[in-house]
Each structure stands twice: as C-alpha cells, then as structure tokens.
Structure 1
Amino acid sequence: VVTSPVAATVTRVPAIVGGEADMPCDIRPPMHNDSLLLVVWYRDDNPVYSYDTRVPGPSAHWVDEAYNGRAHWHSKPTAGLRMHEIKSRDRAIYRCRVDFHVSPTRNYKIALDVIELPSKPVIFDEYGKELSNTAGPYHEGGEFKLICSVKGGYPTPRIQWLQGDSVLATLSAGEHSAPTRSLTLVIRNATRAHLGALYTCTADNTLLASPQKTTVKVDLFLKPLAVEIISREQPLSVGRKSELWCKTTGARPPATITWWLGGKKIDAITKESGIQDVNETESLLQWMPSKEHNGQVLTCRAEHSNFNHSSIESKLPLNVYYMPEATIHLGAKMNPNDIEEGDDVYFGCKVDANPPAYKVVWEHNGVLLQHNPANGVIVTGNTNLALRNVSRLQAGLYTCTASNVEGDGKSPHLHMQVVYRPLCQRKEMKIIGAALQEPTTVTCEVDAFPPPDTFEWTLNNSAGSIKVDPDRFTIEAKEGKSLLTYTPVSDVDYGTLSCRATNLAGQQVAPCVYTLLPATRPDPPTNCTVYNLTDDSLDLICLPGYEGGLQCVYVVEVWAAEGLVVNASNGGALWNLRRLGSNRQLRLIVYAANARGRSEHVTFTVETAVRLAPRTEPQEAWEVNWALGVFLGAALTIAFVLCLALIASRIRHRSRDYEVTLPSIKNQKVIVQKRNSPQADDKNPDLIPLSKGVTEGPPDPPLYSAIAQPKNSNSAHSLQRTQTPVTPISSHAHYTDMQNDTGRSMINGAMRSHREIVTTRTPLLAAHQESCV
C-alpha cells in the first residue's frame, strides 16, 4: 500500500457540547478502476474508528470504547464520521486515513472544535439580590443598577445589555477572561418612561446556538403629578353638612390624600380608582364647618410615603356663612349703676355675621322698639339705640337681633336699671278693719330702685297728724316693704295711716294711704250668676260686697231634698261645682265670712238638666221613618191647600161684578198682645233678673258712724233682689231693671212680660270673659 503524506490543511468542524458533529472524509478513488479498501480514524495517532470493506456485515465497523455508541460511519450524502453527544473532551485533531486497492493512501486532518455554551445570565441588583422577573421598585428621579453575571463558556462568551433591539452595554469575549464575568447597567435619573421597561442580558460565544438571555421588568415608584379640589361648593353654611372632593393623579402606587385646615388634619373618606395603571385617587371630605373656619384656607395634600418632599397641594379659601352673633353694650362712659330718670341712655349692638346682617332690631322686655323720636326712641344705623329722658318704665331687659340669610341672631339681654323714688305698689286706698284692743298688721309695699332703706309712718285722725314711733314697725329693705303693728285702743285711734319710703333717689312723693276702720262682719255677695249648667255641674259667680276690712272667705252650700250635696269655699266669689246629679232641684246658699263672723245668706234655686240616654239603632230608624212620614204628609197637605186656593180664586174672578166694596176705616189701631211665658223665664237659670238701682261700682264701705251703731243688713237675700253693679272697665255693659217675684211688671194697667239680652263682663274671670244671656 502506498501511503500519501498527511494533508497540510486542517478542516475545522465546530460542535456544541451535547450536540452532533460530522467530520468529513473523502473516500472517492482517484481512478475509475479502483475502489475503497479501508478507512481508519485516528485521534492523536490512536485509532478510534475503522471501516473494512472486505468484512461483510456489521463486523466491518470497529469503534473505540470511548466512542462506543456515539460514533457512526456514513457514506451518504457525503462520507464521514458522525459523532453524537459531543463532550468537551472530544475536542482534538482527528485524522482520516483512506486505503484503496490500487491508488495510494490518502490522509485528511479534521480539527473538532467543541464549544461550551455559557450559563444563563443571572441578574443582581446593586445590593447583590438576585432578580428573577422584576427589578425594583425604584424611585422616580433616582438611580439604579442592574448587574448581569455569566459563568463558564468556551470560547469566552460575549455579554450584552439590550433594551429591545438597542444595545446598551457590551462586554466582549477578549475582556476579563475569568470563570465568571459580569456586566453592570447603570440607569440615572429614572423617569416615568422607565416604568415597565424590559432589560435583557445576553451571553453568546457561537452562532450555532441562540444567545443565553435573561430579562427583567423595571418597577418604579412615581410621584403624584397633580392634585385638585374638584368640588368647590361655595359658600358653606355652619351646621349644614358639606361635601368636598379632591382628586390626585400620576402617583404609583396611589398617593395618600389628607385634608388640612388651620394646621390640623381632618378625617376624610379615600377612594382609589379600580382601573389598573390609572394611578388616580379621590378623597371625599364630609364635615360640618363652623364659624371659626370662615376665611381659613382648606388644603388638600397628596403625598407618597416612599418619597421625601413629594407632596403637592391644592388650596381653597373658605367662605362660611353663619348666623349673626350679636352683643349689646351700653354707650361709652356710661355707668350702668347710675342711670336716673330723665337721663339719656345709649346702646350699641356689635354684630359678627357672614354675610353681613341686613337688619338689626331692638327689643325691650320682648317688645319690638320702633324709631320714634317724639317718644325719645332713636335708632341710628341699625346698631345704635338712644333713649332720651328715660323713665322707670323703660327699665328692664334690652336685646338686639341681627338677621342675615342664615337666620336671626339674638344678643344676650342687657338689664338696664333706672334709679327712681319709691312708689306705692297699690295706687288705690286700702281699707283695713281693726278691732279695739286687738293688734293689726299693716303692710306698706313700695316699688323702688334701689330698694328703700328707711320708712316713715304717719297717723291722721281727728286728733291731728301723729308720726309713728320707728319701734312699732319693721323694715324689709330687700322686699321693699314695712310692717306696722297697730292696736286701736279707742275710737279716736281710727283714721288714716300713711307711709313714705326713702332710697338713694330721694323720698317718696305720694305716700301709701290705708284707712283704718272698725272690723265688722262682711256684706253678702251680690249679683250671683249661674252659667255652664249641665246635667251634673254648674259654674257660679257673684260680686263680693264689703269684706269688713278683713280677709274674707266665700262659701256656697248646695242642698237637695235629701240633704247637703256640696260645700265649697274660695278666696273669691267664684265656684266650679261638680257631681251635683241630673234632674235635681237644688237650693244654693251663698255667704261671706271673715274673722268677725258671717254675712247674711243669699239663697236661690236651680234645676240640673235631664241626662239623655244613648240613642239606639231601632230608635234612629223609627225616627227616620217618622220624619219621612211627616214630610210626605206636609207635602200632600200643601198640595191640597194650593188646589183649594186655585178654585177659590176662579170663583172670585167670576163674581167680581157683584162684589160690594166697603169703605176702609182710617187711623184704626190694632193692638197685638204678646204672648207671655213667665213660667219659662222663671225656670231659665241663665237669665239675670232685673234690679231697680244701678250703682257706679263695688259697694263703698259704710261710714264709721254707721258701723259703730247696730244695724240690720239690707242686702238682698235672693237672686231676684240683687243689684247689678257697673263694670268700670267696660263701656259695653248693659243693665237690667228690677223685676218682681213673678218676673212681670205693670205697664198701662196691663200685665206684660219682657226679656232682655244682658251682657256682663266679670273682672274675676281671666282675660275679661263675657257672658251673654
């Protein structure tokens, strides 16, 4: 066998660890009459594979143990040795020797370049933490680093940072040959564009395989972009619930919204948007503004807890409406404790209101004051009040009330006190009954400011005017009264007592006068009237007579046939009598009593009404049928009468020519006598019987000479003989004449009964009630 020298050229065959490699070997004979004999593969001159065409079957192939199962000969499409599951130790220069039957042997050199791929890149942050899918979160405006680390690889791999198709950083294969290589990517001044950005680290050392790569997504904290108070409901009102909305956008994660007023945080309701990546937050402020909030600035603040100095604000100046707050005060240089009658007084009203008050009114003891210069009331500029020449009647409580659209604000009252001399609380002369050798207490009550500090008593009688020793009376300055204990010894000691009080303003001008008379038993009540008479009750009122100068009690006794029914007493001649029984003949006895005895009795009778039984359905049905029958009967009767009238008219018309006209009688007087019903009048309890005389007021006290002598009372003893006094306060009262016991009077020799409408106003009833009978 002729052997040719080894080929000088080396064919390089790359292969990846774990992959396949085809090492070519040309086995074509150079001559047409020649053929292949033997192929032997050598590694470093050591045979590893052979193929002998002379041996038939599988025995023609021989494989070294290290390549057993991994190396196979193939002749099509091109001849060569195919190796599977390439290992790094397979890297070497192989020689293929080809023997022919005739031609000389040929040798080929093949260099098997086994490529070891680098490991998959691992990405770390600047703190050495391995990142899997997401990097961050980082802060907007800040800086962050991504470190890509790659191990192994033969030949030395190239490392790159990519964003999309853009190469951001590269570490070439010839730099920093080491088992582990790293490439750092630095991002400065991170912006919103970096949110969600994908950064890929690749490592490659051959074109036979795709680069090894790892991708991370950047997460970023974003600052809020804008904040705005979107609901600007103005103006606000004190006491009314208000709602304000604030909205912020751009923050990631959503920003925190807080409300601030006057440096204090206000609680609110926060609502985040449900849409992903919208980065929107809304906050609802529900609150009750107060008066102090007016003019302040409400702040809505949006901030991110992961950022320092990232807060942004929206401000809203508040316009809060509130009711006026009024304060009343006296004018400057005025002493509230030194206001006398005749002085001029000035008031001011300070009003705090938003919006400003459109009116201010003044009140005195709850009564509205009007601008009236003629009466000394002057209102200027709504907030100033002047009182000229004040009197004691103008003392009391003063207030001012300011009004705006929110309502009326009333000031606390200011009590103005006017210094004036003492005055009697009762202007009329009081009659006091005093018995001989018995002490009697006389009370002198005055109205004064300040309260009086001294009193002076004087007795005027037939002997002259005598001042009472101060030891005989006491003074209660705070109550403004003095109590004199007086004991008449003889008839000379009766007369008129007068007292004068003195205070800081001076001595009382008109004294309080009390007439001392011998105490007697009272006169009986008069003019008794029964009203509101029902089947079980009645109301009774009488006019009191002279009370004998002592405290008097009025008594009514109600008697029936079986005995006493009711016994009632009262401080006034007014009674409400109940539980009398129905359909009863009652006798009423009225009298007055004091410490000296009883008056004569006034007696009259009344009859209570019949109590009606409840109506039943059969009775109502019978009454309806009875009424219907009456109506039909009346209708038929009227129709019959009309028919008779029509017939008579026609007959009269036919005999007109034969009718004789009689002369009329002139000046003929026809006296129609009224039907009298005295019995009905006597039984009517609401009628006031007439009396002869009319007095001009309550009965005057009797003269002392009349009291000293024994006398018989001429007071009426029955309702028919009572007197009807004139009510002084009313100009509409009517009076009745005297009736006799039968209620009839003789006029022109004929007996005639009459009834009058009588209206009486009783001062003992509240609110001037009137009764008309």
Structure 2
Amino acid sequence: LANSTAELPCDTAPPDRHDEVILVLWFRENVGTPIFSADAREVALSQAGVWFDEDILKKRATFRGRLSEPSILAIGNISLTDQSVYRCRVDFREAKSRNSRINLTVIEPPKSLTVTAEFSQQRVSTVVGPFRIGDRPKFTCTVEGGLPIPVITWRRNRVTVTGQMETSEPDRIRSTLLLPPLKRSDWPMTLSCSASNSERGRPLEQSFDVDMELPPLSVSIVVGERNPAVGKPFSLPCHVSGSRPIPKITWWRNDVLLDPSAHNQTLSINGSVAVSVLDLSLDKTEMNSRITCRAVNPYLDSTVMEDTWNVNLSYPPNVSLAMGRSLNAEGIKAGDDVYFDCHVDARPPANRIEWRRDGIKLVHNTSANVIITNQSLVLQNVGRSMAGNISCHASNVEGQAESQSIFLDVKYAPVCKPGLTRYFGVSRAENVEIVCQVEANPSTELGYKWFFNNSAETIEVPRSRYNNSSPSGASILTYKPLASLDYGTLLCFATNAAGSQNEPCVFHILTAGPPEPVFNCTVSNHSSDAFLIACQPGFHGGLPQNFSLHFFEESNSSGRLVIHQIFAEPIFLLSSLKTNMRYKASIASINAKGKSDDVIVEISTQKEPERQLEVKPGKSTGPITFSYFFLPSLIPTKNFFILFY
C-alpha cells in the first residue's frame, strides 16, 4: 500500500556451509547501476556496511542480513514511483553469484468519498431527509483517487444492495442508488456507501440515516380496568404511536377544545409513542359525555387520528326504598303479604344488597315467611313481631349506602298482655279489682266486654260493673262474690279497628285460703360447704304467695337456727357452710290467708377431701385459703337468693 513499508526478500543462504556471503547488490529495472549494496567482505552479513542511491531511495532503505532465512530490503513510505521489478544479486566467496527477481506492485487507496442526495445536491452528513411515504430517494456516492480503481458498495441496514456505477472523469468514479417507493415499514433505515481497492487497506465509508415524516398510526385512550370515580381527580393517558416527528395532541370534550394547561405531553424512549395525560375530575352530570384525544403530525395536516372515551364513571350506591304500589302502608294487617323494592343506582352495580329490620339483618327463610329475591323483599303472612323499621343496604367497590327506613306498621286485633294476674282469692262480700290489659295496634279506641262463667252458666257482665277503657288503655272490673255460684272464671274480650280478640283474657275467682305446701324438693350441687335446694310451688290459695325458709344446724339434739328468710320462689342456694355437718331446712308457703304445712329437707355437707402439702425444712407456711363457687346446672329460670353464712 502507498505510504507503507515494502519488504523485498532475497535468498542469501550460501550453497555450502563452508562458504560465506561477501556482497549483496540490489538493482531496479531500467537502472543499470545498483541502487543498494551490503558489503560483508570483512564482517558478518548481519553487520554488513550498506550503501544506497540517494536519488532513488532517499534514505528510506534498511537492510536485515540473515543466513538462516531470506534477508530483507525494507523501503519505507513507498509511492507509485517505487513500483517496478527489483533484482537481488548475492556474491559468495567461493560459489557463483545468485540472482533473484521481485515484482513490487504499489496500491494507492482512494483519497475521498462523498454522498449527495438528488433533491438537494448537498453533501449528506449523518441524517438525510425527511422523506414521505411514496418518495423514491436517489443518492450518489463519489470516490476520488485510488489505483487500481476502487469498488463502490452500497448497504441498506447492513445488507448489500445494488447501485449503478458511473465513471465520468479521470481519478473519479460514481455510483447511484435509487430506492423503491418508501413505505412506513422502511423506517428506520440506515444507508452506507464504502469504497475499497484492496483487502489489506481499510475502506472509505460513510453511513447516514434516512429520516421520514409519518402520520400517526394509532391513537388510544387508556382508561384502565376500573372506571374513574365521581368527584375524584384522575389522570387519563392517551397513547399516540407511529408519528414522526412528535405529533400535536389536543383534547376535546363534546367537540369543545380543552385548555392545553389541563394536560401535558411526554415522549417514550424510542420516540415512536407519544403520551399525553389529561387531568380531570368529573361529576355524575358528565356521564356519557365524550372525551376525545386527537393527534396530527404538524407536517402532515391532512392525516388526523382520534380516539373517544364515552365517559363511564364509578360511584357508590344511591339507595331508595319503596313499598309495593298496591299496598297501603297505613292499612297493613296481621296475615297480609307485604313486599318492598330496593332501588339502587350504582356503578359498578352493587355486589351486595342486604335487608334489615330495626338494624338486624334479614335472611332468606321461607319457613319464616321471609323471601328475598334480587332487590325485592317479601314478608308473607306478617305478624305483629314483623313490625319495625325496614331498610335496605347496598355496596360496591366504591362504598356503601343505606336507604331511608319505612316503618312497617302491622295492625292486629288485641291479645292479652303478658304478666297479668290471673288468679284471685276472694272472700264472700269482698271487693277485688281485676285489670284486663291488652296489646293491640291501633291501641286507641279499644272496646271491652266481660263475661262470667261458672259450672252452671256463662253470662255477660253488665257495663256498669267495669269501665270500658282507663287512661292506660286497660279495662278494670270491680267484682264482689256473694254466693258460691259467684266463684268461677271471668273472660275479658277487647276490640279495636283491626278486629276482635280471638282468645279472651281469663281470670279465675277463687275462694281465698292458705296456700298448699311445696313439693318435689331436690338437692343439687352438693359439696363440702354448699348445696342448692329447689322445690315446685303448690297452689297459691288464690292469693300471691311467698316461701319461708328456716335453716337449722343440727350440731346437737335441739339444733341451731342458722337462717330465717322469706323468698319469692322456692329455690335456695346455701353456701359457706361447715364441712361434714348435718343441716335441716324447713320450707313453708305463705300468703295473706295463712301458711301451708312445713316441708322438711335434711342434708349433710360432704367431708372435705384430704390435701397433702409439701413443706420444705426451714420454711414456714402461712394460712391456706380455698375458695369455691358453685353454679347450679339445673336451676329453673326464676329469681332466687344466694345466702352466705
């Protein structure tokens, strides 16, 4: 290669090992005298003295004398003028001289390479264009210098393509590349032109990118899996792909341009996708309005693309409750069927709907006449226990809400009020007031009728004997038995707007007397210091009765009274008693007319089990306290007293 160093070999090995080289001469074709010599007559070949022709070699030649391998004449910074046939002559001390020829060919690389575009005729640098879809760009690659003539190669995205060669001037060649009509898929494109005339040298090369103007390929508003919530700020991104250069993106609401300050625009990493983000906060009035993202390439105004989002917002339930249209809320009577509709407006739809009465959840139960289907509640054959505030609750991912309450007012005929005194012990010619009180809806304008029944007949009690309704809504009958046939049963019937009482309130007029004794007394929870005595009460004699307990400790023949107390019920829990001790309980029923015979219950507390305590030597132990609490397992559901002694 020109400007490099050429090494010309010459075989200087003697034909006989006893012989030696005395002189090496180099000749150039068409030059009659040597141009270089190495004299080894007095020294070894590697130390031979050298001489060269100043006009031809100009101090560019050096010599490396060797016997085991060819000697080298190196000529530096060669040029085309050095190209020739060289002859090397080797003189030996004894043997005949040896001649060898070498053809030196000098390659001159190309000096320069330029690329121009047809539309501008200016030199292309790193980027050319922009071009549009359908254009056919044409490029010319010009190479100057080089011997032999260089080869020009075009590459498109590193793949060799064919250009058209032209040789127009001496020392200058051209190659033209005409591209087919450009398509969107051609971008990105990199072209290169290279020139080379030797495998040993580095080729000249220029690479450049072909830029294109491309309209938007797609516009997409990305809402996400969950719709935005009403009244809450949210961001709405719009992705625009395929536009070169960056597109202009605008936002529209119902075809009205939005203020550009409401959105910002960013560019993706590779520049192929532009993202514009619109910040919004919408209320329910915006439902089904249109939000449009519109994109246009500023250099290709004719191509506009857009995407529209029909506003679909999420919001928590709005719940209202209504009673069936055919029902009159003021006229619901026991036995009627009642139904309610729960109207829910929610986005997304409610995923749970609950029905409640007075805050307590109702569940579907056909045996209890409660039927729940979708958003309806049916209460069949309603009774007074179903009365209360009915409401429905709905929830979705955005929240929950409760409807207004509708009071289910169930009208029902009177029924006896629980807890009325039903037995009256009365002496002859003694007045007694009997109160008949009922539960009813409505509870106003109650009407009463009284009837008397004995073993002989049933007669209606004259209105003059009782008041029809007291301020409390009860009817009070003053009754005075005068003869044996005046003892029997009084029946009280009440009526209201809902109807008449089906089952009367029954009161028994009895001859007053002392109560009967308790019976069936049992002892349970028996331990070393406590036990429970429970008895069944006898007939009360027509009057309220109590129960007297005398509790004795039988430590001697006479016994010591431990407890004497009056109880409302014949149930006695006795604790804190002495261990292994005999006791006697005397139980009697009492009322205003006297007392019954005593019932005696004898029982002993159990012996306390032995306890073994380990006491370590040298350490004293203080008093040990054992506490017991006994919970009766089978105690009637009545009030009783706990006595501690």
Please give the range of the TM-score, normalised by the shorter of the 2 chains: 0.3 to 0.5
Instruction: Return the TM-score normalized by structure 1.
Output: 0.37
Structure with greater proportional helix content: 1
Please say which structure displays the higher CA radius of gyration: 1
